[in-house]
Amino acid sequence: MSTVQLQSKLPNVGTTIFTVMSSLAVEHNAINLGQGFPDFPMSEELTNMVNSAMKDGFNQYIHMNGYMPLREAIAEKVDFLYGAQINPDTEITITPGGTYALYTAFATILQPGDEVIVFEPAYDCYIPQVELAGAKAVTVELVFPEYKIDWAAVRNKITEKTRAIVINSPHNPTGAVLSAQDIVELTAIVKDTQILIISDEVYEHLIFDGLPHESILKYPELLERAFVTFSFGKVYHCTGWKLGYCIAPGYLMKEFRKIHQFNAFTSDTPKQVALAGFLANRDAYLELGAFLQQKRDYFESLMKETRLKALPSHGSYFQSYSYAGISDETEMDFAVRLTKEYGVATIPVSAFYTKPVNNSVLRFCFAKKEATLNAAVERLVKL
Ligand code: PMP
Ligand code: GLN
């Protein structure tokens, strides 16, 4: 044992639940409906374009803020989708994934002692990232089972130290989506304050039931104080690419880039070159919502044969199911037992809270081939 001591920067944090459950799935040969990633192939056209980019010599560092034609294609896309006028030179940075964009945004804006409002259940990187920046996460619970925002509760938690509010729509882990009324509430809360917004929109296209995606990019009054983060992994079925981007007004992006240049500095070149061309294919992203909605519905119809009860999901890769009435176990214990004894891995929603909660719900990823969903439900009917 070394005598050298290290004081942990994250003393209360273990290994992320996604790795815990995926490792358990491998160990027990379980079907993995836990960690969110598709098991169907991505576009062959896009992989061929990456191959061509490599053959064409796009293998060296690209501009630190990202390949300009890709930034231009993103600017065009967000104008088309959200009517946003974004300057690709000063307001878009390509990043090695959405997580990195979030980390950099928090690192950019937070000073020790600042507070950040985070809704729980919260995607698991937000709070550690806030804490690593020396700030404090102030949590507000989404109202179970619809996981709606209680805006009165948000108002109660705001202090003179509040520096930012984190929003995530469509929401991981619950599939809840923000409504136009939520945007009205948020706008009223931040008006005439120094509060910034971090908007995690990695599931922008994975939205169902005809609902519009209430992007912050649609609202200039909010965008002037926001970092909006995206991930190509979720759009093109390639979560392992770890490529995303951040959009923010120039005065914020300037500071973001100061940090980015000394961390990753830049992002994968050939994939950026390929995406710059592929973004022109609007159908590839416009069809995504219907494609994933069909998977949600297919899985839900199969799950009716089990004793698990669906909670509403209007977006993302995920839907929660309740096991109330089947077991009193904690969500973690039940998820572990389901993996070991029934061969299906899920994610306990309690893992996305800082305090102990037990709503008897597990998150299932339905972004899978029908054969995978069939095989999983064949196991779950035995519950
Ligand atoms: N935010 C949310 C809500 C996510 O689900 C994910 C997916 N992992 C990310 C951010 C990060 O995406 P990336 O893999 O591009 O870092
Ligand atoms: N976003 C994915 C999920 O929620 C996983 C990402 C990760 O493993 N960090 O399952």
- Does 314 lie in the same domain as 225? no
Residues 366 and 295 sit within 8 Å (Cβ to Cβ)? yes
Neighbours of 305 (CB within 10 A): 11
| Rg of the chain in Å (alpha carbons) | 21
pLDDT value for 43: 97
Which residues does ligand 2 sit against, CB inside 6 Å?
16, 18, 35-36, 172
Which residues does ligand 1 sit against, CB inside 6 Å?
36, 97-99, 123, 168, 172, 200, 202, 231, 233, 239, 242, 244
Long-range contacts of 85-91 (CB under 8 A, 24+ apart): 86/217, 86/247, 87/250, 90/250, 90/253, 90/254, 91/247, 91/248, 91/249, 91/250, 91/253
- Does 96 lie in the same domain as 219? yes
* The Cα angle at residue 126 between residues 68 and 111, in degrees rounded to 5: 85
Mean pLDDT of 246-267: 98
- Does 135 lie in the same domain as 28? no
CATH code for the domain in which residue 262 is found: 3.40.640.10
Identify which of 35, 103, 126 to mutate to test ligand 2's pocket (most ligand atoms within 8 A of the CB).
35
Give which of 207, 147, 136, 193 is closest to 173, Cα–Cα. Answer: 147
Mean pLDDT of 22-43: 97
pLDDT value for 192: 97
Tell how far the Cα of 189 is from the centroid of ligand 2, in angstroms: 30
In a domain, 291, yes or no: yes
Does the structure show a pLDDT above 80 at 323?
A: yes
Mean pLDDT estimate for the chain: 97
Tell how far the Cα of 240 is from the centroid of ligand 1, in angstroms: 11
How far is the C-alpha of 316 from the C-alpha of 37, rounded, in Å? 11
Reported as a single tens digit per residue, the pLDDT across 46-98 is: 999 999 999 999 999 999 999 999 999 999 999 999 999 999 999 999 999 99
Please tell me whether the overall predicted TM-score, pTM, comes out greater than 0.95 for this model: yes
Tell me which ligand sits closest to the C-alpha of residue 98: 1
From 220, 252, 281, give the residue that closes a domain.
281
All residues at 6 or more sequence positions from 353 whose CB lies less than 8 Å from its CB, including other chains: 120, 121, 122, 139, 141
What number does the ligand 1 atom closest to the CA of 243 have?
Answer: 15
In a domain, 373, yes or no: yes
- Does 247 lie in the same domain as 112? yes
Reported as a single tens digit per residue, the pLDDT across 91-125 is: 999 999 999 999 999 999 999 999 999 999 999 99
- Does 226 lie in the same domain as 337? no
From 248, 264, 281, give the residue that closes a domain.
281
pLDDT value for 2: 84
In a domain, 54, yes or no: no
Reported as a single tens digit per residue, the pLDDT across 55-67 is: 999 999 999 999 9
Tell how far the Cα of 32 is from the centroid of ligand 2, in angstroms: 12
* Closest C-alpha to ligand 1, atom 5: 172
350 burial (CB, 10 Å; 0-12 / 13-18 / 19+) is buried
Where in the sequence is the domain holding 164, given as residue range(s)? 60-281
- Does 293 lie in the same domain as 259? no
What number does the ligand 1 atom closest to the CA of 18 have?
Answer: 8
From 264, 281, 298, give the residue that closes a domain.
281
Residue whose entry in the numeric block shows the structure tokens 């009054």: 221
pLDDT value for 18: 95
CATH code for the domain in which residue 344 is found: 3.90.1150.10
pLDDT value for 314: 98
pLDDT value for 106: 98
In a domain, 65, yes or no: yes
- C-alpha dist (Å) from residue 27 to 339, 369, 380: 9, 22, 19
Please name the helix (run of DSSP H) or strand (run of DSSP E) that holds residue 131, with its range, or none.
helix 126-132
Tokens encoding 336? 């572990």
In a domain, 73, yes or no: yes
- Does 231 lie in the same domain as 158? yes
- Does 319 lie in the same domain as 203? no
- Does 168 lie in the same domain as 243? yes
In a domain, 90, yes or no: yes
pLDDT value for 72: 98
In a domain, 2, yes or no: no
- Does 322 lie in the same domain as 188? no
Tell how far the Cα of 46 is from the centroid of ligand 2, in angstroms: 23
Residues 110 and 196 sit within 8 Å (Cβ to Cβ)? no
How many structural domains comprise the chain? Answer: 2
pLDDT value for 136: 98
- Does 320 lie in the same domain as 251? no
Buried b / exposed e over 100-139, threshold 16 CB at 10 Å, is bbbbbbbbbbbeeebbbbbbbbbbbbbbbbbbebebbbbb
Q: 173 preceded by cis ω (within 30°)?
A: yes
Tokens encoding 279? 């973004």
Q: End-to-end CA distance of the chain, in Å?
A: 45
How far is the C-alpha of 33 from the C-alpha of 339, rounded, in Å? 10
Does the structure show a pLDDT above 80 at 235?
A: yes
- Does 346 lie in the same domain as 276? no
Does the structure show a pLDDT above 90 at 1?
A: no
Give which of 89, 99, 92, 98 is closest to 74, Cα–Cα. Answer: 92
Reported as a single tens digit per residue, the pLDDT across 335-381 is: 999 999 999 999 999 999 999 999 999 999 999 999 999 999 999 99
Residues 80 and 72 sit within 8 Å (Cβ to Cβ)? no
In a domain, 47, yes or no: no
